[in-house]
Structure 1
Amino acid sequence: MIDAHVHIWRLGRNDCTWPTADLAAIHRDHELVEIEQLAVPLGITAAILVQSQESDRDTDWLVDQVAASPFVAGVVGWADLASTDIEAGLDALIAAGPLVGVRAMVQDLPADAVDDPAMDPGLTALADRDLTLDALIRPRHLAALVRLAERHPRLRIVIDHAAKPEIGAGAYDRWHEAIAPLARHPLIACKLSGLLTETAPEQPPEAVLDYIRAVHALFGSDRLIWGSDWPVLNLRGDYAGWLALARDAIPVHDHDAVFGRSARAFYPRMRA
């Protein structure tokens, strides 16, 4: 099995300014050795490290971690997609280690943020290099992401955390209506990750089951990619519990795809 969404950080180093002290459950250093100790006994054989800071230094540090552990199969880093030096920057990261993609942290930006034409050369550069765009978005960004996919039909896109839906009966229909058009694009996948963190304290973990079933039905097993979102996951759950919940919710005949094969398909630069 592959965990396609893991974070590590060292507070105050490598430009790490998040998480802040108010997030007490995760406000400490989180190192690669810790996630290996959690994941490997549960059958996880590889992980993708995902940036948590909008910083070149953070991404450089993550790439350095690849050499330290065969457990890391790739890095989804950060890059300024509007930079005039984007191609050289991507090439340097590819040469340094297994960069598999770049994440755009759009969740706190206006709904039309990814319509910015200044990003288009960077997005083309990703597609030209077989790199994937991870989109950290909320439901209000989904319509613009459709437009981005239409502008860049060769670009593989992964929607992180199922677009971070509000978990609850009143919001489900709006989210479902917004995300469904993305599922019609064959090069768009969805991360089965981050859902527990969107629940309210009084909601049980089972509150996310309808959302899991929905993205499985919409994207199918070959475009649904499981990830833990560790250690952010610890705000509302734990590693073993989230893995068990997801595996119970996905039919057994789709486990190989959702918990491994789909990650390799959408991140083709992953190392073996």
Structure 2
Amino acid sequence: MIDAHHHLWQIGRNGHSWPTPDLEAIDRDYGLDDLKSEAVSTGLNGSIVVQSQAHDADTDWLLEVASHDELILGVVGWADLAAPNAAARIADLARHPKLKGLRPMLQGLSDDDWINQPAVRPAIDAMIAHDLSFDALVFTRHLPAINQLAEDYPALRIVIDHGAKPPIAHRHSHPEETRHWREQITAIARRPNVHAKLSGLVTEMRPGQPIEDLWPYVDHLFEQFGTDRILWGSDWPVVNLRQSYRSWFDQVHHHLRGLSAKKIDKIFDANAKRFYKITTETGETQ
């Protein structure tokens, strides 16, 4: 099993700015030993660690951690894509064999169309030149911008983190938000270079909200992306705000129990290897 989305962080180090002390359940250091302890019974044999801080130091630290542990198959780092030296920074990062992609944390930016500004184009070109993927940390309102990005750069592999954070908590009180999310997901799924992650969904729910409220969103993702463009991720340790690593793993497995073993393997393993260009010991890309 490959976990396509988890984090590591050290409070007060490596450009740390989140989580903040009010998130008491996850306001501490999290390292690989913690991950291994929580995922030991899931059959985890590889992972993709994703940046959590908008800082070069965080990416440099994750690459250093990854270089000393075979469990980490790839790193999705951060770079200031609008910086004048972005292309050079990306070229430098790409020299590390475990750097697989970048994530600019679009959800926190004031301009929903930030990624399509001319200043970012050299960075996107550099990502394509170095065969790096793009993790899109976005809300529903950003999906038109990502759709445009996917159209402009068909060679760029894009994955929508956390299913674009659907409005699960407001499912019953604001159904129009769900309709809008469904429409935008349907539109962007038409782009063959766009994938989606089953990660971070439970933290979009209210505390105590029944898990049954989540499945219509998962089902819509599968209806639009199919089983070839969906990757499972834990979003650990953020998932701990709502439930445990093992609980999220088991719940998704149970919900997908009607699928064939081959399709389950794609979602929990093969798709992540293919999307992030994970190579075998023989050098073959899976």
Give the alignment's TM-score, normalised by structure 1: 0.96
> Aligned ranges for residues 203-218 of structure 1 at < 5 Å?
203-218=209-224
Shift, 1:247, TM fit? 1.2
Shift, 1:269, TM fit? 4.7
CA distance in 2, matches of 1:175, 1:225: 19
Compare 78-87 and 49-58 and name the one that shifted more: 78-87
1:191 has 2:200 as partner: no
Letter in 1 for 2:221: V
Compare 185-194 and 88-97 and name the one that shifted more: 88-97
> Aligned ranges for residues 116-135 of structure 1 at < 5 Å?
116-135=117-136
> Aligned ranges for residues 73-92 of structure 1 at < 5 Å?
73-92=73-92
Preserved contact between residue 164 and residue 194 of structure 1 (Cα < 8 Å): yes
CA distance in 2, matches of 1:199, 1:270: 36
Q: 1:248 aligns with which of 242, 249, 254?
A: 254
Q: 2:236 aligns with which of 225, 230, 239?
A: 230
Q: In the alignment, what sits opposite 1:103?
A: 103
Q: Deviations over 1:123-163 (max 9, x none)?
A: 11111111100000000001111111111111000000000
CA distance in 1, matches of 2:214, 2:12: 33
Preserved contact between residue 159 and residue 195 of structure 2 (Cα < 8 Å): yes
Q: Where has structure 1 moved over 4 Å in runs of 4 or more?
A: 269-272
Give secondary structure in 2 for the equivalent of 1:122.
Answer: helix
Q: Deviations over 1:153-181 (max 9, x none)?
A: 11000000000111014132111001111
Give secondary structure in 2 for the equivalent of 1:107.
Answer: helix
Aligned residues: 272
Q: In the alignment, what sits opposite 1:20?
A: 20
Give secondary structure in 2 for the equivalent of 1:96.
Answer: coil
Shift, 1:119, TM fit? 1.1
Q: Deviations over 1:220-267 (max 9, x none)?
A: 111000000000001111101101111122243121111011111111
Give RMSD over aligned pairs: 1.4
Give the alignment's TM-score, normalised by structure 2: 0.91
Preserved contact between residue 5 and residue 50 of structure 2 (Cα < 8 Å): yes
Preserved contact between residue 130 and residue 269 of structure 1 (Cα < 8 Å): no
Q: In the alignment, what sits opposite 1:266?
A: 275
Give secondary structure in 2 for the equivalent of 1:130.
Answer: coil
Q: Deviations over 1:27-71 (max 9, x none)?
A: 011111110122232111101010000000000000001122110
Which structure 2 residue ranges, 5 or more long, are not aligned? 282-286
Letter in 2 for 1:12: G
Preserved contact between residue 135 and residue 158 of structure 1 (Cα < 8 Å): yes
CA distance in 2, matches of 1:128, 1:26: 37
Which structure 1 residue ranges, 5 or more long, are not aligned? none
CA distance in 2, matches of 1:85, 1:21: 34
Letter in 2 for 1:255: I
**Identity over aligned pairs, percent:** 44
Q: In the alignment, what sits opposite 1:50?
A: 50
Q: In the alignment, what sits opposite 1:178?
A: 184
Give secondary structure in 2 for the equivalent of 1:206.
Answer: helix
CA distance in 2, matches of 1:86, 1:258: 33
Q: In 2 relative to 1, CA 84–56 (structure 1 residues): closer, same or farther, beyond 3 Å?
A: same
> Aligned ranges for residues 32-71 of structure 1 at < 5 Å?
32-71=32-71
Preserved contact between residue 98 and residue 270 of structure 1 (Cα < 8 Å): no
CA distance in 1, matches of 2:41, 2:77: 27
Compare 165-174 and 253-262 and name the one that shifted more: 165-174
Preserved contact between residue 19 and residue 26 of structure 1 (Cα < 8 Å): yes
CA distance in 2, matches of 1:223, 1:215: 10
Q: Deviations over 1:68-94 (max 9, x none)?
A: 211000100001112232232223223
Give secondary structure in 2 for the equivalent of 1:38.
Answer: helix
Q: In 2 relative to 1, CA 265–158 (structure 1 residues): closer, same or farther, beyond 3 Å?
A: same
Give secondary structure in 1 for the equivalent of 2:95.
Answer: helix
CA distance in 2, matches of 1:127, 1:86: 13
Preserved contact between residue 5 and residue 193 of structure 1 (Cα < 8 Å): yes
